[in-house]
Chains A and B, each alone.
Chain A
């Protein structure tokens, strides 16, 4: 397994990081949401970000595809720095897939149309090719039979799997997950997590904000704990769960694991 810690530059020197975040600062008005974040993500690495609500974990991954604008520092995705340049932003967005807590499927389009919209209009793929690709990915998330239905006709778990397929249809290099299971029933959490585990096994680079510690333990190469806009601790899952260093992490883990 490829476990790298961002601060140790020597270990990452031979593998070029796909995302480099340095000295990132973000404010909402006067509220300092992200404080001096430094993070390198390597190809095929799976990172789980956890922390209490309001700790800035969602804000961090939303900065990576510029759903949020940062004020200081830099984010470089696959060699392109995120600036105000609309063309660059759209290029990065089409290379970075995102899955949301509330799925955000387009309710007026069928499942298949949800998946083919961006390949056709952004990637300029022929419709036939886009359809084929979408069906292949819908098979992968195990709902090809729902392709002609509308999102409103599906269960939450199915909708979230469609959302994953929609993001994958752009053949992204990185996938971001913003609390993908927080709005789901326990049974549906399982089906979505299974899909995500399969995706992880296929070698996708993933950044996942989640409270599913079982998933973190099983899949993550690195677990990051954030609090008050800062990265408090990062480690591989074995050390993170068995031997947390900071008091804040210990408190968080005891609260999240003992209920």
Chain B
């Protein structure tokens, strides 16, 4: 006789159900405990958690706010929050762009057959990824840039551009004549479309005749000349706000404050060392047979790298590089050390100290980082899927 009935406690489905119920109960209890402790602590200290402080005027100054106008005595806390987000996005975007370029460059040099170049890249990678980032940010800011750049009165001048220990000061364009400016933008748009059309035509011509013409460079130079000529033809629709030396520093114009520059520099160098290693891993993952096949059909070294190695290496490079991009964005919060005004500094730092609304402020900061990271990885994962599908 075969007994198909098994005791319920030996049924794997029953066992897994029990485990899940137990875990769920424990987690729920933990959350409840945290919630109750928080509420009772807040009541005990007499803290009213509310969002009413959002519209209060922030009693402190924010020096760097390139996207939103900061006005001491008018700007509210919620606007400070937006300024913090925008400044974080700015350093994130600048850092990602620069570290990608530097990382790819170093990674490719690391694999160069040239012994000296390869060893220099190795030293770069091993020095910069093994020193804590905070130390590097402080090193570049205090030991290098602040120490070597001159004070405002002795600024290094390049036309209307000034470089000193406070940062880089440049003329800032503003719209002088709105109608003409709009016309200029429209003309530029048409010009851009024309360039794309020429490009497409030359690509088609290449496919049909096999003749390759380096139209890209002519296109670029032509467009720049066209842009400058049409700008003057429309009577210079842009005005320039020039930086002027004041009592302590330059006033007016656009400025790239030194903390932003130091932070950007340190984040780029630190992250690019990791990206370089990803690039190296990706390139070495392409099998030797691929390289031999590419050589055997007569491709030049550059053609082989561009058409055979890089497309295959990208599939290995992208996923860990996404993590590096996320790390860079989150690491930008170390800006507190040099005084760049991003979200942790102005929101989770100064605003929290002023208002005491820890719960709301910390929660909002977490959500901002979470959203940024998810958005970045969403975009890059889409790109990654495109690269992966290609194989079959």
Contact A100/B292 with A93-B298, A107-B391, A121-B299 known, Cβ cut-off 8 Å: yes
Chain B residues, CB < 8 A from A98? 293, 296
Contact A167/B209 with A67-B292, A100-B289 known, Cβ cut-off 8 Å: no
Distance of A94 Cα from B303 Cα, bound (Å): 14
Contact present for A118 and B312 (CB under 8 Å)? no
Check: A136 CB closer than 8 A to any chain B CB.
Answer: no
A:74-124 near B, CB below 8 Å? 86, 90-91, 93-94, 96-98, 100, 102, 104-108, 117-118, 120-122, 124
Contact present for B207 and A126 (CB under 8 Å)? yes
Contact present for B212 and A106 (CB under 8 Å)? no
Contact A122/B299 with A105-B293, A108-B312 known, Cβ cut-off 8 Å: yes
Chain A residues, CB < 8 A from B390? 108, 150
The interface bits of chain B over 264-306 (1 if a CB of A lies within 8 angstroms of the residue's CB, else 0) are 0000000000000000000000010110111111111001000
Distance of A108 Cα from B294 Cα, bound (Å): 13
Chain B residues, CB < 8 A from A126? 207-210
Contact present for B392 and A104 (CB under 8 Å)? no
Distance of A7 Cα from B209 Cα, bound (Å): 47
Chain A residues, CB < 8 A from B207? 126-128
Chain A residues, CB < 8 A from B298? 90-91, 93-94, 118, 122, 170
Chain A residues, CB < 8 A from B209? 126
Distance of A102 Cα from B288 Cα, bound (Å): 11
Distance of A174 Cα from B290 Cα, bound (Å): 21
Distance of A170 Cα from B390 Cα, bound (Å): 25
Contact present for B210 and A166 (CB under 8 Å)? no
Contact present for B312 and A67 (CB under 8 Å)? no
Q: What's the least CB distance linking A120 to chain B, in Å?
A: 7
Chain A residues, CB < 8 A from B210? 120, 124-127, 129
Distance of A125 Cα from B208 Cα, bound (Å): 9
Check: A158 CB closer than 8 A to any chain B CB.
Answer: no
Contact present for A117 and B293 (CB under 8 Å)? no
Chain A residues, CB < 8 A from B303? 121-122
Contact present for A104 and B292 (CB under 8 Å)? yes
Chain A residues, CB < 8 A from B311? 108
Chain A-chain B contacts (Cβ-Cβ < 8 Å), number = 82
Chain A residues, CB < 8 A from B290? 104, 106
Check: A65 CB closer than 8 A to any chain B CB.
Answer: yes
Contact present for B392 and A150 (CB under 8 Å)? yes
Contact present for A93 and B289 (CB under 8 Å)? no
Q: What's the least CB distance linking A257 to chain B, in Å?
A: 30
Check: B134 CB closer than 8 A to any chain A CB.
Answer: no
Chain A residues, CB < 8 A from B208? 126-128
Contact A93/B295 with A121-B303, A124-B212, A128-B208 known, Cβ cut-off 8 Å: yes
Q: What's the least CB distance linking A74 to chain B, in Å?
A: 20
Contact A122/B289 with A107-B391, A127-B208, A127-B210 known, Cβ cut-off 8 Å: no
Check: B337 CB closer than 8 A to any chain A CB.
Answer: no
Check: B24 CB closer than 8 A to any chain A CB.
Answer: no
Distance of A67 Cα from B297 Cα, bound (Å): 11
Contact present for B392 and A117 (CB under 8 Å)? no
Check: B122 CB closer than 8 A to any chain A CB.
Answer: no
Check: A153 CB closer than 8 A to any chain B CB.
Answer: yes
Distance of A108 Cα from B309 Cα, bound (Å): 10
Contact present for A118 and B295 (CB under 8 Å)? no
Contact A118/B297 with A104-B290, A126-B210, A128-B208 known, Cβ cut-off 8 Å: yes
Chain A residues, CB < 8 A from B299? 117-118, 121-122
Chain A residues, CB < 8 A from B307? 117, 121
Chain B residues, CB < 8 A from A150? 390-392
Which residue of the partner chain, among B289, B308, B312, contacts A102 with CB atoms under 8 Å?
A: B289
Check: A152 CB closer than 8 A to any chain B CB.
Answer: yes
Chain B residues, CB < 8 A from A96? 296
User: Which of B297, B300, B308 has most A Cβ within 10 Å?
Assistant: B297
Which residue of the partner chain, among A86, A122, A124, A127, contacts B297 with CB atoms under 8 Å?
A: A122
Which residue of the partner chain, among B206, B289, B312, contacts A104 with CB atoms under 8 Å?
A: B289
Q: What's the least CB distance linking A30 to chain B, in Å?
A: 22
Distance of A126 Cα from B208 Cα, bound (Å): 5
Contact present for B297 and A93 (CB under 8 Å)? yes
Distance of A128 Cα from B211 Cα, bound (Å): 13
In the complex, residue of chain B having the shortest beta-carbon distance to the beta carbon of A101: B289
Which residue of the partner chain, among A106, A122, A124, A153, contacts B293 with CB atoms under 8 Å?
A: A106
Contact present for A67 and B391 (CB under 8 Å)? no
Distance of A68 Cα from B308 Cα, bound (Å): 20
Distance of A20 Cα from B108 Cα, bound (Å): 38
In the complex, residue of chain A having the shortest beta-carbon distance to the beta carbon of B206: A127
Distance of A124 Cα from B299 Cα, bound (Å): 12
Chain B residues, CB < 8 A from A124? 210-212
Q: What's the least CB distance linking A129 to chain B, in Å?
A: 7
Chain B residues, CB < 8 A from A127? 206-208, 210
Could you pull out 17 A-B pairs where Cβ atoms are within 8 angstroms?
Answer: A93-B295, A97-B297, A104-B292, A106-B294, A106-B312, A117-B297, A117-B299, A117-B307, A120-B210, A121-B303, A122-B297, A124-B210, A125-B210, A127-B206, A127-B207, A153-B392, A170-B297
Closest 5 CB pairs between A and B?
A94-B298, A104-B293, A127-B207, A118-B297, A104-B289
Residues of A within 8 A of B (CB): 65, 67, 86, 90-91, 93-94, 96-98, 100, 102, 104-108, 117-118, 120-122, 124-129, 150, 152-153, 166-167, 170
Give me 11 other A-B pairs in contact (C-beta within 8 A), A93-B297, A124-B210, A150-B391 excluded.
Answer: A65-B296, A90-B300, A93-B295, A104-B289, A105-B293, A106-B308, A108-B390, A108-B391, A122-B299, A124-B211, A150-B392
Residues of B within 8 A of A (CB): 206-212, 287, 289-290, 292-300, 303, 307-308, 311-312, 390-392
